[in-house]
Amino acid sequence: MTTATITLSREGQIVIPKEVRDKLHWGTGQQLIIEMTESGILLKSKPAVKKLRLEDLRGFLKYDGPPISTEELCQQTGSTVDWNQLEQRSR
């Protein structure tokens, strides 16, 4: 475990020592989460948001019924929507 003494600036900023940043792989722009604890504060890396591609969603929705052809999937459902009524409701 690495320990370092740092000083709070007039603006309320701190500098995290390079050795610590390197060890944690924290670069410029790294977002951090600060938590107040009983004994002080805790800094943690904010997990990166994984960007999904369309291919990543393959198999996301499960279907347990019989196989359906592409033509059947593309057929209209026969339901109608009154867009004017929906628009008025949303106001």
CA atoms within 13 A of residue 85's CA, in its CB half-sphere: 3
The mean pLDDT of 63-88, rounded to a whole number, is 79
User: Average of pLDDT values for 47-61?
Assistant: 82
Q: In the CATH scheme, what is the code of domain 1-47?
A: 2.10.260.10
% residues pLDDT > 90 (the chain): 46
pLDDT (mean) for 51-71:
83
- Residue 18: pLDDT band by 50, 70, 90 thresholds? very high
Cα dihedral angle (20, 23, 28, 30), rounded to 10 degrees? -100
Collapsing DSSP states into helix, strand and coil, what is residue 33?
A: strand
Cα distance between residue 88 and residue 86, in whole Å = 5
